[in-house]
Amino acid sequence: MSEPLTESSLRYLGDLDYSIVQQCMHCGMCLPSCPTYLDTKRERNSPRGRIALMRSIADGDLKVTKEFGEEMYYCLGCLACTTACPAGVNYPELFENARAEVEHQDVLFSPERRFWRWLTMKQLFSHQWMLRAVGRLLWIYQVTGLCTLVRKSGIMRLVPKNLRDLEPSTPKIQRHFSDDLIEESEKAAKTKYRIGLLTGCVQDLVFSDVNRDTADVLLENGCDVVTPRSQGCCGSLHAHNGDLVLAAERARAMIDYFDVENLDAIITNAAGCGSHLKHFTNLLRDDEQYASRAQEWDKKVKDISEWLVEIEFRAPSQSDKSEETETVTYHEACHLCHGQGISSQPRDVLRSIPGMQLVEMTDATHCCGSAGVYNITQPEQAGILQQEKVKNIKATGASCVATANPGCHLQIQNGLGLNGAGDAADVTHPVSLLAAAYRKEKGDSK
């Protein structure tokens, strides 16, 4: 795997604060938590092994190779190791800088890979108007039945296998995006707080209804809601995939969208985004114009369940005591429980809902295999984790699965369909269940 390092013009790992690089004490407590290590039992596929490689590169003992790059992208970035680590190793920063090193050295270059990275990160997920335009075309493709016609025609056989395999899992695009469902400013009946609402990129196209539910729940709890238009990607996709320059650009744009000083909190309902959104300080620490603003931003970003518990949200009243109990199980999105340390709060939300019984699933904190774009880049390993998650969900007998991340939502939804469960379990966001309970109080069935 290793060759002596020749000096490069820029070394992300080499430029890191060395205290971060040397935190790992190689105790092995992370090993039982790592999905890839559990599958292969190979040291290089463990957090401890990966950190050893990163440190050797930072020390100048190893060269960044294609093999190193493939190892960094074999890691899910699920951060389960951070929860298990007794030494408090900052794996997220190591992980992101390692991938940035891989991209800077261009050791995984191929024309196809370069094209897809340019199209997705530099175009679609850097320009919300472009992403929405593609989303609208996908919506037309889906609602007109053209997708069914294409699948039956056999034309998909002409498409490369990796894309052909992905097509059936294409997420259902919403008819209305977030800006059509949520006013730029909405006032609560009794104002206690002023909140900024993040609408995201994939969340905006696929789960704009969850954004509406989030706004409704905030309004019910005395929060005026400010939702800037056409916000776009927060940069988490870029940071997690080795483009820290674009991630910083997106961070600056997000800060500019919001009047941070005059908000009590900035709310996100997507775990993967939230984990990134809370660390703009580190990303922009060398930016004289944005460094202090990033610090204020980080203090105010809250996951929706975190914020609700913090303000002691109102539990819905039970309108009909004779109604049947619905069972729900909860999948913990990796970047919510491991990345943000938020685990009890979504459960508090679920337990507050009348007529709903929470049934815990086995290994609720284990990754479902989504991991950003991991289910696209590493479909085989992602599929193994998806099957394990579906098995555990079905074992609960729950009629509903709650999870707080769009990637997890889609991965579990597709897994349930692919594994013959059909509509045996609905997949939804905890905040959507709370919003529905508030509406039920008012006799609103929508």
Domain boundaries, the chain: 12-105, 117-314, 326-441
Tell me the residue ranges of DSSP E strands in 248-397: 265-268, 301-303, 326-330, 356-358
Q: Rounded distance, CA 259 to CA 266, Å?
A: 10
What's the pLDDT at 237?
Answer: 94
- Asked if the model's pLDDT at residue 6 lies above 60, the reply is no
Q: How deeply is 336 buried, as exposed, middle or buried, from its count of CB atoms within 10 A (0-12, 13-18, 19+)?
A: buried
What's the pLDDT at 321?
Answer: 63
DSSP state of 339: S
Strands of the sheet containing 400-402, edge to edge, are 356-358, 326-330, 400-402, 426-428
If you average pLDDT over residues 408-433, what whole number do you get?
80
What's the pLDDT at 14?
Answer: 82
Q: State the DSSP H helix or E strand holding residue 11, giving kind and residue range, or none if neither.
A: none
Q: How deeply is 380 buried, as exposed, middle or buried, from its count of CB atoms within 10 A (0-12, 13-18, 19+)?
A: exposed
The CATH fold assigned to 326-441 is Rossmann fold (3.40.50)
CA distances (Å), origin 102, targets 10, 126, 336, 372, 395: 11, 21, 26, 18, 41
Q: Rounded distance, CA 49 to CA 46, Å?
A: 5
If you average pLDDT over residues 244-249, what whole number do you get?
94
Q: Which tokens hold the place of 226?
A: 């400010």
Q: Rounded distance, CA 45 to CA 38, Å?
A: 9
In the chain, the percentage of residues whose pLDDT exceeds 70 is 92
Cβ atoms of 177 and 132 closer than 8 Å: yes
For 29-88, write each residue's pLDDT tens digit.
999 999 999 999 999 999 999 999 999 999 989 999 999 999 999 999 999 999 999 999
Ranges 142-151, 302-311, 327-336: which has the least confidence: 142-151
What's the pLDDT at 238?
Answer: 95
- Single out the residue of 132, 220, 230 nearest to residue 179, CA to CA: 230
What's the pLDDT at 124?
Answer: 93
Are both 12-105 and 326-441 of the same fold? Answer: no
What's the pLDDT at 421?
Answer: 42
Cβ atoms of 236 and 207 closer than 8 Å: no
Q: Which tokens hold the place of 433?
A: 């269940």
**Which pTM does this prediction carry?**
0.91
Q: Which tokens hold the place of 327?
A: 């069972």
What's the pLDDT at 376?
Answer: 86
Q: Rounded distance, CA 205 to CA 374, Å?
A: 20
Q: Rounded distance, CA 324 to CA 237, Å?
A: 41
SS3 318: coil
Confidence band of 372 (pLDDT split at 50, 70, 90): confident
Cβ atoms of 231 and 266 closer than 8 Å: no
Confidence band of 446 (pLDDT split at 50, 70, 90): low
For 321-360, write each residue's pLDDT tens digit.
656 789 999 999 999 999 999 999 999 999 999 999 999 9
- Asked if the model's pLDDT at residue 370 lies above 70, the reply is yes
What's the pLDDT at 418?
Answer: 52
* Residue indicated by tokens 């407590």: 29
Cβ atoms of 195 and 223 closer than 8 Å: yes
CA distances (Å), origin 340, targets 173, 261, 420: 28, 23, 33
Give me the architecture of the 12-105 domain, per CATH.
Orthogonal Bundle (1.10)
Helix residue spans in 154-265 (DSSP H): 161-166, 178-181, 202-206, 208-220, 236-240, 244-257
Confidence band of 169 (pLDDT split at 50, 70, 90): confident
What's the pLDDT at 154?
Answer: 75
